[in-house]
Amino acid sequence: VLMTATAAVGFRALDLLSLLSTPLKLGLLLATFWFALQAPHGDVWAYAGAEALPVGAGISLVVGGLIVGVVLAPDVCRYARTPAQAAMGVVLAYGIGFPLVLNLSGIPSLVTGVG
pLDDT digits (tens, 9 = 90+) for 35-50: 888 877 667 777 777 7
Extents of the domains making up the chain: 1-38, 54-115
- How far apart CA 76 and CA 113 sit, in angstroms, is 33
- pLDDT tens string 52-88: 889 999 999 889 988 988 888 888 788 889 999 988 9
In the chain the first and final C-alpha atoms are separated, in Å, by: 27
- How far apart CA 106 and CA 92 sit, in angstroms, is 20
Compare 15 and 27 and report the one with higher pLDDT: 27
Among candidates 5, 37, 1, which has minimal Cα distance to 111?
37
Q: What is the pLDDT of residue 84?
A: 94
- How far apart CA 97 and CA 35 sit, in angstroms, is 21
DSSP state of 40: S
